[in-house]
Amino acid sequence: MSEDKDNDIDALFGEEKPQEEKKDQTPSKVEGSMKFKPGVGVDVGTSNIVVARQAEDGTFVNRFHRDMLYPLDVSDESADLLERSDYLFVKVNDKYYVVGEDALNLVNAIGKGEVVRPMKNGILNPTLKESSELLFYIIRAVIGNPIVEEETLRFSLPANPIDEDIDNVFHKMVLNGFFTKMGYDAKAINEAMCIAYDCNPVMKSDDGEVPLSGICCSAGGGMWNLSLSFKGLSLVEFSCTKSGDHLDNQVAKATGISENKVIKIKERKLNLDDIDMSDRVQSALSIYYDEMLDRMIHHICNEFQDKSSEMDGEIEVVIAGGTSMVPGFCKRFEDAIRRVEMPFKIYQVRHSENPFYSVSQGACIRAIADWQRKNK
């Protein structure tokens, strides 16, 4: 891995607080010596693919890959560039697609064109003809083969959004078909419920503490996914579009700076507790973060209103997802939630200790439970 790549990854994950231990190594070094429990979790996100397995000693091993591509027309020049570089690519029809972090580096270096994504708003990108082909190449290379026959797998699925006419059925079936073809016993799982399984929100009632009960928010690149759960069962699930990617787009429009550069600034410089107001991009990002948080809290109040009688205690809100990883995000969320009248008493807003991995780890925990149930 190049030094630049290391720096990018450090910038992306620098603010995450490890629980006990955290390592960043190549897959073969870590996974080669480990024995895993059957059951794999896959977070199929708009921005990243993350795959989690749990080792026999309890360690979670997460593999991630940026879900992003830079298209190059097939020509002698592009073939020469790819041959002389260590870029990873897929060739489909008359285009090369440079995959992952290199796509972002390349578009910034060349200074023209845009990266493309196989996913949009949480589902397969309908405007990209090769979306399923490209996504499958990436997923197959990140996930690998089942470790046992018919290994259970859970993949994250967004709820249908309340602010866009988008249906997730086709996306769900295509992914289910793909994992099944790879030899897995696959099932979808709501993205926000994965966070519940990973973070275990607790409700405090007169009868004591009730596990797996509370509100979970997954702030992803394409959308927010939210759930209200009680004892591990989902009571309400919904999603809203216009999340992290929308911020990049709006800030790019407002400042005249390309989206790719906005992404770099957001991931490397932005701190919502300490905005540099002389920087137009940071100022604009701060404004759009506030707008997004107010919008999400408005939806939470509306969608969970009818369920207030079913939660007879004080509940916890847990937040995870790549968009929540900007420093200061959780404090702004909590400030915004305290300003409105919520349908429930909320005693705490908690940021997942592994916000980037909560969805994949929660899906993994559910897949391991599926395996246990299947082999009773």
Q: Binders of other proteins among 187-206, rule CB under 8 A?
A: 197, 200
- Contacting other proteins (CB under 8 A), which of 40, 42, 44, 61? 61
DSSP secondary structure of 168-224 = -HHHHHHHHHHHHHTT-EEEEEEHHHHHHHHH---EEETTEEETT-EEEEEE-SSEE
Residue 132 interacts with other proteins (CB under 8 A): yes or no: yes
Cα 115 versus chain centre, distance: 18
Binding mask 212-241 for other proteins (x = CB under 8 A): x------------------xxx--------
CA gap 46, 68 in Å, rounded: 9
Nearer to other proteins, 288 or 356 (CB): 356
Binder of other proteins out of 108, 160, 176, 348 (CB under 8 A)? 176
Give CA–CA dist 360/92, Å, rounded.
Answer: 29
Closer to other proteins by Cβ: residue 238 or 288? 238
Among 78, 81, 108, 144, interactor with other proteins by CB under 8 A? 144
Choose between 57 and 274: whose C-beta lies nearer to other proteins. 57
CB of 330 to other proteins, least distance (A): 19
Q: How far is CA 304 from CA 136, 309, 331, in A?
A: 36, 10, 22
Residue type present at position 330: C
Element (H, E) at 54: strand 48-55
Which residues 293-352 are close enough to bind other proteins by CB under 8 A? none
Which residue of 81, 82, 166, 342 would you call a contact of other proteins, by CB under 8 A? 82
CA distance 181 to 31: 23
Binding of other proteins at residue 70 (CB under 8 A)?
no
How would DSSP label each residue in 321-374? SGGGGSTTHHHHHHHHHHTS--SSEEEEEEE-SSTTTHHHHHHHHHHHHHHHHH
**By CB under 8 A, what part of segment 15-44 binds other proteins?**
18-31
Smallest CA-to-CA distance from 305 within 218, 235, 242, 239 is with 235
Q: Tell me if 89 contacts other proteins by CB under 8 A.
A: yes
Q: 251 to 290, contacts with other proteins by CB under 8 A?
A: none
Exactly one of 126, 181, 209, 310 binds other proteins (CB under 8 A); that residue is: 181
- 14: CB partners within 8 A, 6+ apart: none
Q: How far is the CB of 181 from other proteins (least distance, A)?
A: 4
Region of 141-149, 217-225, 273-281, 294-302 interacting with other proteins (CB under 8 A): 141-149
Among 107-115, 216-224, 252-260, 353-361, the segment contacting other proteins (CB under 8 A): 353-361
Backbone angles phi, psi at 194, to 5 degrees: -60, -40
Write the binding mask 92 to 131 for other proteins: x where contact by CB under 8 A, - elsewhere.
Answer: xx-----xx-----------------------------x-
CB of residue 82 to other proteins, shortest distance in Å:
8
Extract the tokens encoding 313: 């205690």
Question: Is 11 one of the binding residues for other proteins (CB under 8 A)?
Answer: no
Look at residues 172, 176, 178 and name the one whose alpha carbon lies nearest to residue 158. 172
